[in-house]
Structure 1
Amino acid sequence: MKNTLLNFQFLFFSTTLIFSQPTSVELEPFKAGEKLEYRVHYGIFNASYASLTLSNGQVDGQELLLASGYGKTIGLARLFFKVEDYYSSYFETKEVQPILFKRNIYEGGYTKNLEVSFNSEKMQATVNNIKKGTTDIISIKDNVQDLISSLYYLRKNFSENKINTGDFFTINMFYDSKNRELALKYLGKEVIRTKYGKIECLKLMPTTNKSRIFKGEGSITIWLTNDVNKIPIRVQADLLVGSIKADLNEYSGIVSPLLIKQKS
């Protein structure tokens, strides 16, 4: 179970946090002050809590947006396996270009504390491992995103009108000192029931390999609100036994009200 939670925690911040699309209306899909809170549960049992907040920030005097991600196990899950993860991404607003990324995690005794500075002109990332006291300079790909900035980059740039149902969209991501490519399959629109009522969503599926925990291709699904905000409202991972879900539990500071077809 603890490995399941860790894998889902990673998937939540690396896949569920990175899908969105703008509309023809020239509105930014997000702004400082936005906060999203998620309840992660296995059946009727609450397993963990996760949140994403957006605020104003600065790095070396440069005005940026600061996206902060936080996740922790709760209830019985926390008694058996404590997880407490903090993520921060400072990015340039206009192009959603990451400048500084921080990751400070505690997962059942395993810890990691990293700071990554991005230099888009030199195409380099400077990785400062605070725990080990080491610094590495690694080449990065064009238009690279960190784990958190990916969400906001896609909310601003991905367009449903530029992709057909069944096609893939890829994103360059720099994570754990490596360049990674994530392929996302667009599955079309679907109306789902949420705590807020019935909401039309865009349905996406990241590619995954079969493992001891996940079923493999098609085992993870993300639903985004089909509105200006493009909020990930649900994430579901089908396991070899059962499934684990992350549902939007609370929100505030969004650009536009959710488009609810039928209230609960």
Structure 2
Amino acid sequence: MKRIILFVIVVITFSLSGQYATLEPYNDNIKKTEVKEAFKPGEWLKFRVHYGFFNASYATLHLKSAKVDSIPVYHVVGKGKTTGFASIFFKVDDTYESYFDKEDGKPYRFIRKLNEGGYTKDVEINFDHNKDVAILNDYKNNQKFNFTVGDSVQDLISAFYYLRNNYNFEDLVVGESLALKVLYDDDGIFNFKLKYLGKEILKTKFGKVECLKFVPLVQSGRVFKEQESLALWVSNDLNKIPIRIKADLVVGAITADLDAYNGLTHQFEIIMD
């Protein structure tokens, strides 16, 4: 139960708690294109995570405006909590925060605070893009780590918003991939890769939604059935918000669905029958 709940909380923000596979070089034919702004301050997304018939948790992402050293930035707060029946067995209360540049999406600060059934973590990463370094402070263990980073590195949360705002997903070709370098823990920088599988129409609580389907590569064996057991559906509109995340585990399956939203920049497109 602990591993399942941990997974569903973190997967909303594209992390699998160290379960990613080592990735081969990806197809670099996909080029960044000029796209319309996909989000704005005030955007709020809520996801309901369920395991079988049980609601396991809720997760939210709230986008705000802030400043870091007088630089205008976006500030995202992501929260995940177990609820109901699941919280009886294992309580989770996690918070992720990211501060990233409003112009180019570069991260300036990343905060990760976990409280998972007694296991805690308190990490802060500060990025200095002038020196191409990132300093990770592990406050719980009183440790500090320095990493050399380039212009393309993202933190766990900023990566999600960077992809939404910098790629025209309609230009993707089935089978090709998007990839980013991400730093979120003292394990260092890893390659995050999303393979595009095409379009699908999903039935949701809001109605039918046309989505683009992606598959992140994950490590099989310990949690997932296969390397491509995790699937992500993103709305095929200018918002590019996650609609559903589904994972086939070694035992059972978990689904996270968009449950509520507010402050979207563009009209949320629903297919009318």
> Which one of 188, 207, 220 corresponds to residue 210 of structure 1?
220
1:194 aligns with 2:204: yes
> Which one of 121, 146, 164 corresponds to residue 173 of structure 2?
164
1:145 aligns with 2:154: yes
Count of residue pairs the alignment pairs up: 257
Q: Which blocks of at least 5 consecutive residues in structure 2 are unaligned? A: 17-32
Q: Which blocks of at least 5 consecutive residues in structure 1 are unaligned? A: 17-23
> What residue is the counterpart of 1:55 in the other structure?
64
Q: TM-score, normalised by structure 2?
A: 0.89
Q: Mapping of 1:215-254 within 5 angstroms?
A: 215-254=225-264
Distance across 2 between alignment mates of 1:5 and 1:85? 11
8 Å contact kept, 1:141–1:179: no
Distance across 2 between alignment mates of 1:241 and 1:127? 35
Aligned partner of 1:254: which letter? L
> Which one of 136, 145, 155 corresponds to residue 127 of structure 1?
136
Distance across 1 between alignment mates of 2:189 and 2:223? 24
Give the % identical residues. 43
> Which one of 58, 61, 66 corresponds to residue 75 of structure 2?
66
Find the residue that maps to 2:271 and give its secondary structure: strand
Deviation at residue 211 of structure 1 after TM alignment = 2.1
8 Å contact kept, 1:8–1:237: no
8 Å contact kept, 1:31–1:255: yes
> What residue is the counterpart of 1:256 in the other structure?
266
Q: Mapping of 1:1-150 within 5 angstroms?
A: 1-14=1-14, 27-150=36-159
8 Å contact kept, 1:205–1:221: yes
Q: Tell me: CA distance 1:32–1:158, structure 2 relative to 1, closer, same or farther (3 Å).
A: same
Distance across 1 between alignment mates of 2:13 and 2:166? 19
Distance across 2 between alignment mates of 1:15 and 1:132? 22
CA offsets per residue over residues 204-258 of structure 1, 9 Å max, x none? Answer: 0001121232112221100000001000011001112321011000100001121
Distance across 1 between alignment mates of 2:87 and 2:170? 43
Q: TM-score, normalised by structure 1?
A: 0.92
Aligned partner of 1:170: which letter? A
Deviation at residue 26 of structure 1 after TM alignment = 5.4
